[in-house]
Structure 1
Amino acid sequence: MRLLATFVAIVVSLILSDIGWAEVPGIVTGSRPQARVIDETGTLSAADSAEIERLARSIQETTKADMMVVVIPTTAGESHRRFATDLFNRWQLGDAARNDGLLLFVALADRKSEIILGDGLDSPGQRSASQRIMDQVMVPHFRAGRPGRAILDGATRAVTDIVGVSAEQPAAADIPPVPASTSASLVEKRPEPILQPLVEPSSPATPTPVPTEDVLRPEPIAPAQPWIPPTRFQRAPETTSDPVGMMILLGGGAAAGAGGIAAFRSLYRYRRRGCPHCGTAMILLAEGEDDTRLERGERLEEHLGSVDYDVWTCPVCPGVEKVRWGALFTRYAKCPRCRSVTKSQTISRLRAPTQVSEGLERIDERCLHCGWEKTSERTIPRLPEPTNSSVDWSSGSSSGGFSSSSGGFSSSSSGGHSSGGGASGSW
């Protein structure tokens, strides 16, 4: 059985190498082609390619946005996100000022797909729309064995949901010219704007007239309002408010409020307590004396400062009352096993975030009472895009063998740029 699996793997690798699917097509390593649809796998039919070309021309003529669809077999082991982002920046999709490029990238043999947004389209809402297109439209079609439908529907939804143009809108060049004799009648179909408010007539025979001078005459200034000079003649308003004093006042008010809460809590905590059995006034034990009445976890909570316990005893009967007071601010949390507030947490950064990829950090949780432990990981959001566009791409990218000098592109070109925002999918 193992020999059969090895034989099949060798045959598959030879077939892939013969048809070129084990290598990156040369068209994506050169300069940008004229076509907006690049399909090196034969997945798209002629009708699908023509429809995507029409959509790309439509949004470019309507909003100046620049969309391309690239379908290749594989990235030859390169990260698909990095490969697609480098391809976007190498071909410089979109305008340099607007950064309104859009790339739909598919590596069919790798079963990976990417939507790369230009920085001008990379908003939180458009990024969410990209992921919805990937998860709800493209990936289900890929898994069902309909790759052509996945690419066409993904491009259509990208036009409507990301760029914001109707997919049914024809290109401007496809709209037939309107004859001069009929153009006026077609344009004048919209109703005339109403310049005066409608007034309900008192009777059908005698409508209430609306004097034109009353509509056009400005409202008189109320006598109580003083005359306000133009802005250039106004002096700085004199005020008695002081920003520093206002801050001090607000800070003092907040401190007074916090102090009042603490004072109320202290009064309520040390109020007179009657024994629930005999009604006799109970006695509060000192801090050192109440440790004998506490459990091990409770003593540890007091030692850590997360909880403070008051132990009240009755001088007449054996009545004892133990009251728990949690700290207002503490770095410890409640343990899910022993329920004591003795759980500590340590966060270690494993990978720093960048503008292209998310970061990763490890969270180590441990209870100092029962020894419960848990380790988990969570992602760190990507860094925001730079505030200026003075990015030097002359050095090129090390991924995918791209450099800005090949194919006639240089950092002085007027193309757009992407920081890698968009969506990823696999099936």
Structure 2
Amino acid sequence: MRLLLLLFCLIALPGWAASYTPQTVPNPRLVNGSHVADPDQIIGAENLARIDALLRQLEQRNGVQVAVVALDSIGSAEVFDFAQQLFETWGIGHAGRDDGLLVLLVRDQRAIRLHTGYGLEGALPDVVCKRIQREFMVPAFQRGDFGGGLLAGIVEVERILADPAQVQALAELPQPAEATPWEVFRIAASALGGVALVLAFGFKSANGYFSGDIAEESPHAVLRWSRQAWLAGFALGPAAIIVVCNLLPLASPLLVCGAALYGYFALLAAFQAWRQQVVLRQLAARGEYFAAGSLVSREQAFWGWMAVLFPLPFLFHYFFQRQRRTHYRNHPRACPKCRAAMRKLDEAAEDEFLSRAQQMEETLRSADHDVWLCSACGATATSAYPGSESKYEKCPSCKCLAYTLESDTVLEKASYESQGRGEMVHVCKFCGKRKTSSYRIPRLVRESVAAAGSVASSSSSSGGSSWGGGNSGGGGASSNW
């Protein structure tokens, strides 16, 4: 009874071996950049290295891509169907040339298949593939020398394709299509531009940028765009330009599209400059020079970016904006009480009219205060402008713009096993208020683990563009032994 059970196990053992599908065969181009997939170690290291070296030389010489695959089992799948699916999944050969060859060995079916792309059917017709198998490969397979048989067949394939007539024929195949600069620009602009627009729209929505998001009575709020206008201006407009340039028979679509996009965004910025100027004129007409100066200051960063992205004409406009900020800040104004003329005090004289907190802000340069004195009634008006130091915030206690981070200390370093802990101390330079707060530092991530996961993911995938995107019409031949 035990003898029968052992005999049954020996007979059934081959059927228990794992079988592959076209999707689970490890793609050698993704695993180690080679031409040979031998997951069951059928070929042997020496023959595998010699085969891969020959195929590398062949691809370098005339571009032909050959993939050699040796598997224990593909289950009940037909060798032809399996080879066709694997060929298309990997895309062996170059797109347009279809100069690919798949050499597939399936040990449990005792089958060898040479599967050719369209471009190799002339050099390796079915009858030649059959002859290579019968004369060079099958005899070695019958002796159990799978690596030697595959090597002998590859040597013969290489000899045939090295023939000058075949080299010339392969050279006349269509060259692999290369993406033009316009195609690269179009794809990159669509992908990167789309991502940037989504992120910008989400950020602006979350921060109440669009008109109507926040009930704010200020000149700056008047310049905001509605959601519909922003999407039309920054999404639909550029997309329409790219589409039109792609459809028109232009000699240089990249140059035309680049110039059109530059001009389009420059016009959008010019429109925004016009809107700002309208608001500034309204403020100046009402004598609200502080509001006008504040508006110019808040828009300064925007025009700085415009000067970088569109130096013509906004480099000049940027310096004009800086001059206008000084103009509105120092513009003569009328007393709000008696409407008499007011004069701006210098730095030494203005301290008499500033609070101790305001004087501290000037000392820290967190704010810059202007004091205007009415020569008729003695009334004063104080205006606050952003200072050169931006690290200070309003103190939650005294409201002075003198609250800053004094120290940030790591109390416990993070490790691979546990989080760390840190402590921040904020202090007000005016009233002395101190606040200590702690925070957690995330655990460290082992780079080797992350890298291994990435490699494993890549290795397990058998698709992608690791080859050239070639196709096969099912040419070639199969043999059994």
| TM-score w.r.t. length of structure 2 | 0.34
| TM-score w.r.t. length of structure 1 | 0.39
Of Structure 1 and Structure 2, the greater helix share is in 2
